């Protein structure tokens, strides 16, 4: 049994999800969300008959704070945390991760993400590609899926897949959009990861932003369509030498108009912005074009 837990990030429903998987050996959590919404996660677990301390296995798709920011709390409660090898060191020694986040969010760190502490290495598992972990009667298979982040894993459970951010953002039947924060965005890698997911003949995707998707291949095609649309929109501005500060308001208006054209109201667009701040995609895609030109 899989349960979607709405973390009500920044007071918005359907923005960030954690997934509770009930197994014969107890509950498993896929994604923790940020530490700032731990009380909401506690409430969601309680509604399904569990306490925070009941979670003894945490599977992470990647280490960005909206997905993994509360992982340390569960580790301090005794849980084992499963993470990509490239993310392992950042959870064991989070100083660099926190430094990078503070450069972006500055004084807003606490409000957005809460606290973050080191996880003892004895409670971290570095997950190789195609590794399988069986908890009770349930087996999770890891697929390394770079593009959004080099440390990204999609977790397969039978014909379903916990997709993290490689399968983009789609809220309440709205438009598919793509989270493109720096520093790891790579369009070619992302396309290969999507092609891998399509080859798995999945019946369901579970998005962190937000919920279950059943038309899997159509959805994944829309991920790549949006990714190249946004990248190609930004490219001429970057080539002309415009700064991120100049491009950002133009791109925010462009992305917002796409949602408006899709029929998404103001609250819906606020949910999208909470899940995927459009200004971050400017920085990420500008960095992509800079690296691609230099290579």
Three-state SS string over 87-116 comes to: HHHHHHCCHHHHHHHHHHHHHHHHHHHCCC
**Residue that the structure tokens 């971290």 belong to:** 124
Q: Could you list the pLDDT tens digit for every one of the 295 residues in the chain?
A: 999 999 999 999 999 999 999 999 999 999 999 999 999 999 999 999 999 999 999 999 999 999 999 999 999 999 999 999 999 999 999 988 887 888 778 888 888 999 999 999 999 999 999 999 999 999 999 999 999 999 999 999 999 999 999 999 999 999 999 999 999 999 999 999 999 999 999 999 999 999 999 999 999 999 999 999 999 999 999 999 999 999 999 999 999 999 999 999 999 999 999 999 999 999 999 999 999 888 7
DSSP secondary structure of 146-184: -SS-TT-EEEEETTEEEEETTT-B--TT---B----SS-
Burial of 113 (C-beta count, 10 Å sphere; 0-12/13-18/19+): buried
Report strand pairing: 57-59 vs 26-30: parallel
CA separation for the pair 33, 164 (Å, rounded): 11
- DSSP state, residue 203: S
pLDDT at residue 103 in the model: 78
pLDDT of residue 108: 83
Tell me the sheet residues that pair with 30. Answer: 19, 59
The domains of the chain are located at 2-221
pLDDT at 219: 98
| Entry pTM | 0.96
Separation CA 32–CA 40 (nearest Å): 11
> Which superfamily does 2-221 belong to?
Ribonuclease Z/Hydroxyacylglutathione hydrolase-like (3.60.15.10)
Instruction: For the sheet with 80-83, list strands across it.
Output: 2-6, 17-23, 26-30, 57-59, 80-83, 124-126
CB 185 within 8 A of CB 285: yes
């Amino acid at each position: 049994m899989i349960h979607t837990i709405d973390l009500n990030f920044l007071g918005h429903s359907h923005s960030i999800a954690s997934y509770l998987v009930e197994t014969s050996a107890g509950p498993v959590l896929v994604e923790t969300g940020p530490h700032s919404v731990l009380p909401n996660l506690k409430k969601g677990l309680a509604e399904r008959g569990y306490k925070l301390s009941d979670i003894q296995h945490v599977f992470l798709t990647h280490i960005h704070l909206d997905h993994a920011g509360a992982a340390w709390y569960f580790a301090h409660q005794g849980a084992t945390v499963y993470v990509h090898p490239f993310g392992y060191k950042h959870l064991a020694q989070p100083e660099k991760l926190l430094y990078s986040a503070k450069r972006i969010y500055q004084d807003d760190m606490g409000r957005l993400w809460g606290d973050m502490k080191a996880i003892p290495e004895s409670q971290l598992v570095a997950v190789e590609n195609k590794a399988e972990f069986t908890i009770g009667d349930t087996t999770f298979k890891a697929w390394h899926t770079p593009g959004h982040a080099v440390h990204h894993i999609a977790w397969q459970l039978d014909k379903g897949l916990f997709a993290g951010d490689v399968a983009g953002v789609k809220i309440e039947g709205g438009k598919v959009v793509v989270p493109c924060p720096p520093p790891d965005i790579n369009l070619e890698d992302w396309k290969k990861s999507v092609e891998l997911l399509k080859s798995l003949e999945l019946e369901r995707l579970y998005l962190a932003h937000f919920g279950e998707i059943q038309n899997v291949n159509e959805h994944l095609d829309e991920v790549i369509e949006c990714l190249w649309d946004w990248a190609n929109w930004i490219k001429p501005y970057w080539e002309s030498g415009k700064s991120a500060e100049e491009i950002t308001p133009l791109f925010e208006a462009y992305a917002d108009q796409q949602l408006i054209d899709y029929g998404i109201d103001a609250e819906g667009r606020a949910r999208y912005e909470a899940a995927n701040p459009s200004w971050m995609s400017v920085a990420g895609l500008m960095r992509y074009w800079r690296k691609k030109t230099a290579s």
